[in-house]
């Protein structure tokens, strides 16, 4: 059965790979990204019924307006994937610039909150739907020089598990560790070793059916795409 799927950070990396995988399965994807060129490319490659918009998830009002447009045209999503995220330039915590730390918090934590606040009330009213917030192995463990990123992903884990306790029966909120994939983000943190891991499109072939099979029975369960 075809599903309506919302993905943030859809213009590159894991988000872009999921758009391709879900579309091949006949699902309708509503996506957003900050890059105008990336959004235009998505529109060209994935025309209607899919829909893509240039939205900065750190802008609460922009997210609200986007959600009103999406909900009026499509209704609540069956699957909401908070994927948009930033990685810090590797450095000891005391050397991380204040503005860089703030940007990572704004995208990785506040962005998730803004999207949840904009879309989840309609899902709650319908009493169905799955919310997946992408976490990380660094949301369940730590490494040196990525403390800001670890902090945000630990926050995503806690936020999601608390949200899971607030949802009505029939819904689910799940923090998802996608595993280690050769993305621009991984290369930023670990340039020398990133190429030894699978590419986003290969990952999405496994991840897309995994995500589609999530349901209310998985509510509040931290999960990993192996």
Entry pTM: 0.95
d(CA 52, CA 69): 11
Q: Are 49 and 73 in contact (CB under 8 A)?
A: no
pLDDT digits (tens, 9 = 90+) for 22-58: 999 999 999 999 999 999 999 999 999 999 999 999 9
Mean pLDDT of 14-22: 97
196 pLDDT higher than 90: no
DSSP state of 89: P
pLDDT digits (tens, 9 = 90+) for 111-168: 999 999 999 999 999 999 999 999 999 999 999 999 999 999 999 999 999 999 999 9
Count of structural domains within the chain: 1
Instruction: Write out the residue range of the structural domain in which residue 142 sits.
Output: 4-224
Q: Which residues are the active-site residues?
A: 149
What pLDDT is stored for residue 190 in this prediction? 57
Mean pLDDT of 176-198: 68
186 pLDDT higher than 60: no
pLDDT digits (tens, 9 = 90+) for 82-96: 999 999 999 999 999
d(CA 15, CA 211): 13
Instruction: Write the CATH number for 209.
Output: 3.40.50.720
| DSSP string for 64-76 | HHHHHHHHHHH-S
- The mean of the pLDDT values for the chain is 94
């Amino acid at each position: 059965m075809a599903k309506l799927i919302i993905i943030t950070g859809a213009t590159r990396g894991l988000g872009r790979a999921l758009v391709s995988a879900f579309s091949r399965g006949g699902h309708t994807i509503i996506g957003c990204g900050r890059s105008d060129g990336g959004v235009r490319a998505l529109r060209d490659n994935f025309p209607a019924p899919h829909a893509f918009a240039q939205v900065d998830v750190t802008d609460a009002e922009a997210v609200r307006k986007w959600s009103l447009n999406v909900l009026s045209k499509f209704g609540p999503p069956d699957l909401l994937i908070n994927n948009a995220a930033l990685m810090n330039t590797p450095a000891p915590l005391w050397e991380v610039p204040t503005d860089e730390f703030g940007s990572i918090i704004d995208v990785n934590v506040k962005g998730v909150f803004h999207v949840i606040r904009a879309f989840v009330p309609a899902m709650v009213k319908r009493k169905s739907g799955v919310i997946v917030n992408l976490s990380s192995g660094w949301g369940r463990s730590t490494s040196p020089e990525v403390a800001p990123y670890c902090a945000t992903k630990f926050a995503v884990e806690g936020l999601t598990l608390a949200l899971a306790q607030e949802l009505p029966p029939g819904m689910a909120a799940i923090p998802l560790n996608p595993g280690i994939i050769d993305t621009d983000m991984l290369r930023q943190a670990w340039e020398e070793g990133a190429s030894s891991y699978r590419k986003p499109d290969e990952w999405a072939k496994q991840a897309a059916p995994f995500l589609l099979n999530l349901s209310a029975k998985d509510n509040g369960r931290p999960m990993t795409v192996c």
